Structure 1
Amino acid sequence: MTTALIADDEAHLAQYLKQQLAACWPELEIVSVARNGIEAAEQISAWQPELAFLDIQMPGLNGLEVAQGIEGATRVVFVTAYDDYAVEAFDAAALDYLLKPLKTERLLACVARLKAALGRPPAVDESRLAETLQRLLAPPVQGLARLRFIRAASGDMTHQVAVDEVLFFHADDKYTVVRTAQGEHLIRTTITDLAAQLDPEQFWQVHRSTLINLAHLVGTRRDEMSRLFVRIKGHAQELPVSRAYVHLFKAM
């Protein structure tokens, strides 16, 4: 059986899609119905479904951000009410897309496309995928000076951390963790804003929630499922690389 996940914060729309898929694709097994983007990301990681039907507009993480963080082989179908938005995402980052309100003829065509595609290796250009998702998530910010220091408050003390000393940045709930060899600090600046202000030759985004400093990169490793991980000097745990950014390491 082909496995799939549905993610939509509007429960009645998620159930409607599930019912329609059951009618036109009885062999499809829906392993999870996620209520928001964070739950979708967790369930994709846990279940590793072959397909994920992701609503683009969801709380926590939107569908584009969820797609940006997929580490395994799950292929994405975006579900959206915005035609232009969907078309651009589909052109580079998705297997197909569905427009709301769902139409039976369009769903049948989508199912036919999915069945055919599942029998072939993925044809998505990963570099285009990453570039398109980043552009859709946050248009480039112009005119910002490159960051040289990070200011992080701790009680009545404000620490000034040179960016060269940062091993990596990692988004954690409401905060971003600034990790150095000496410890960690918390700031409220988002990964997207940091990426726009840091030198792209020095800092690479490897996941929707992670930016690494290449000066401290030790190496990479693939696990038995071909998922890529990076090893950072001075940090014991490996960091996952999402599928959208694997192409960055092909020349290394």
Structure 2
Amino acid sequence: MNALLVDDSRLARTELRHLLQAFPEVTVVGEARHAEEAREKLRELQPDLLFLDIHMPGETGFELLASLDVAPRVIFTTAYDEYALRAFEVNALDYLLKPIQENRLAAALAKARLKQTTAAAVAAETGVAGPPPPEEPAPTLLTEHDQVFVKDGERCWFVRLSDIRLFEINGSYTQIYFEQNRPLIPRTLQHLEQRLDPRVFFRANRQQIINLKWVEGIEPWFSNSLKIRLRGGPEVEVSRQQSVRFREMLSL
């Protein structure tokens, strides 16, 4: 994958270039200091991947993307956490907070590789080179290492998914359990299930999705179902159908 780095900070570009040396599948083909220079580099180099800062002199990273007819896959790199929700609304692959951690960079590049492999498979099957015809983008799968922006009324959080132990339906909203917080978000469990890594997040029943890494205890329950106790609470009853799936998924 050819990558273009766009950041007004030379130090940030140098640090990111250094981190990318650990990923031989990525070749940094250019750098840009602001949106105008980035547009020129994008036309000239046509990279597969764009590492994009948000706050830059002149136009922001979002304004740069809005001005493009066709954009490569985007990974935002920024020191600000309040734009995470907007970043995913423009179908960014990932949102990395500075200073960038190598494990977060690795997770973002894994998503980029998956997208590239899928596009290549479609091209091979259809015999059409280049990107497939425009279609509704598939939701980006979030790993436990990702951080998400959560807003409930006047309160906001930027929380790592690994810290969330439970998603639970509450009326027409979904309630999130992390630390002592219980914010509500306007998302359905069906939507969340499509976005969350199924190796970590398990749909226990129609009302709840649990983080398997927070399971503290399991006991048999009625009609061959299971009851799961999460660290920090609460207890979750797994439906009979999902109990069968749970046993199959986690058994040797």
- TM class by shorter chain equals 0.3 to 0.5
TM-score, normalised via structure 2 length: 0.46
TM-score, normalised via structure 1 length: 0.46
> Larger RCO: Structure 1 or Structure 2 (Cα < 8 Å, ≥ 6 residues apart)?
1
